[in-house]
Amino acid sequence: MSVDYTFPEGFWWGSATSATQIEGAASQGGKGQNIWDYWYAKEPNRFFEGVGPETTSNFYYTYQEDIKRMKEIGHNTFRFSISWSRLIPGGKGEINQEAVQFYNRVIDELMAHDIEPFVNLFHFDMPLEMQEIGGWENREVVDLFVEYANTCFELFGDRVKKWFTFNEPIVPVEGGYLYDFHYPNVVDAKRAIQVGYNTMIANAKSIKAFRFHQFDESQIGVILNLTPSYPRSQNPADLKASQIADLFFNRSFLDPAVLGKYPQELIKLLEEHGHLPQTEEGDAVLMEANTVDLLGVNYYQPRRVKAKDHLPNPYSPFMPDWFFDNYEMPGRKMNKYRGWEIYEKGIYDIMMNLKENYGNIESFVSENGMGVQDEGRFIQDGIIEDDYRIEFIKGHLQWLHQAIEEGCNAKGYHLWSFMDNWSWMNAYKNRYGFFSVDIETKERKPKKSAYFIKQVADKNGF
């Protein structure tokens, strides 16, 4: 295949996943309970086909073969997360040595195959005991998280050079405190905003702890799902709606992470509605002094908004949705399996925004992917012919390449995900992997996209 799009030397090719979504062994190896184990035990009906986090893709036991497969398809980097409830059951106190051995083996195995480990500290998986004392609403939990982060730096920092505090920190805010798709299933914007704020305090404090170690050539960052907010039209009312959506869903985390402060417009808006979070003395200085070195960008779909058609119900709970309506653009291209719009140029727009407004911070696409249900229907000659995924990846890589040509500081592309994994309430409904996973037997099989990405990685382009 001739190469039309060549990427910079040393470009990161790989994939991403998280502990709860692939490890399995949820009650083995000394692991404590996290909120997913607990919620599933309590309400299994909320999970697709009643499948919970107990065994998922069994990576706890199959990591060696899986890492070998990663190497075979050209990975030079791989992001996974450490489970706080596995490493420190209960969230504080004794370190679980079985977990230390497991994560050491995973890191060493990756390095033995020349795959650089990218390690994330928190991916939606609060230890149950920490949630019981308030989770991110409680500053004590913030400090215990920093102790956990520091434990990870001490245990693994000699080898791990790419660290991430959080993956998509807005999701537990939306899911757990606004829209009822994560435990604790609260609908309360004031508490949601406090959770978001305290998460960013935990981010800054963890970065401070990390820098204290003075590791050689190591970086720490955060992974944000940056979904551009596109207005329906250039009408001032639509523009205002998109600016407010952007404040709530992007800048609420992007600005403190990269610029070290919250946007004034957001502070003013929350103040007008009596929803400012509680802060402590020294918070602002802490945030400003501890910004990220590196930004992971998760991008799946755009957000399109318009001015509201109707005034919000004054008796309804305060919501970001008071300020805009979602807009379905006529003629938009769809992933009809997932109900999400496909808009490849979004990745270019995000990168240009980082270049123009965020000091062109070093970044990479940390997640991009296409979830499809019942992929078995695309099997030909024993292989899932996922041409739709190959087209999806190519389309996004073309726009990423354009952004790099125009000077954006983008260093890599990670697909979600290496193999089909357990997606929270959706369980195994939508499949995302380069490899399929049989839920019963746990057998892995490469899809057509696995062969495609190997060629891309080998040629550093396509």
Catalytic center residues: 367
Amino acid identity of 384? I
Q: Are 78 and 14 in contact (CB under 8 A)?
A: yes
Closest listed residue to residue 166, CA positions, set 194, 130, 203, 201: 203
Cα 84 to its chain centre, rounded Å, is 16
d(CA 452, CA 462): 9
d(CA 116, CA 341): 32
DSSP code of residue 25: -
d(CA 370, CA 76): 21
DSSP code of residue 30: T
Q: ∠ CA 276-318-266 to the nearest 5 degrees?
A: 40
Tokens of 41: 């035990």
Closest listed residue to residue 291, CA positions, set 250, 254, 266: 254
Residue 436 CB-density burial (10 A; 0-12 exposed, 13-18 middle, 19+ buried): buried
d(CA 410, CA 297): 10
Closest listed residue to residue 226, CA positions, set 380, 37, 358: 358
